[in-house]
Amino acid sequence: MFIMSEDWWATKVRITCESKHGVCEHDVGDSYVIEHVQDYVKGLCSGIQDPARPYAVYCALGMPSWEGDDKSIYRIHCISKLGTVWRLERIPEEE
């Protein structure tokens, strides 16, 4: 069970490229901060930006993921079959 805070919508989420399997403008290690879960992130392509939106909300809410090694993060793939894998994680308030 998770506990949702009243201001979850103001929680920042970091999205980082973890692996690259084909041609893409992003490189492994590229990292962006989603300041607000529904914001457009400058520099992040639409091939991951739109698919990441619901998972950014889940991270902000603190909902556990399916990841066996760390339930606090989400790993998702961009829309390209040979694209990139991205890690989404909640940024603690003090950062």
CA–CA dist 26, 86 (Å, integer): 10
pLDDT in tens, 47-81: 999 999 999 999 988 889 999 999 999 999 999 98
pLDDT above 70 as % of the chain: 92
Which strand (E) or helix (H) includes residue 33?
Answer: strand 31-34
* Structural domain containing residue 60: 8-90
**Structural domain count, the chain:** 1
Measured in residues, the chain has a length of 95
Could you tell me if residue 1 is inside a domain?
A: no
Q: Identify residue 65 by its one-letter amino acid code.
A: S
pLDDT surpasses 90 at 33: yes
Predicted structure pTM score: 0.88
CA–CA dist 41, 21 (Å, integer): 22
Could you tell me if residue 19 is inside a domain?
A: yes
Q: What is the mean pLDDT of the chain?
A: 88
CB atoms within 10 A of CB 85: 16
Contact 26, 46 (CB under 8 A): no
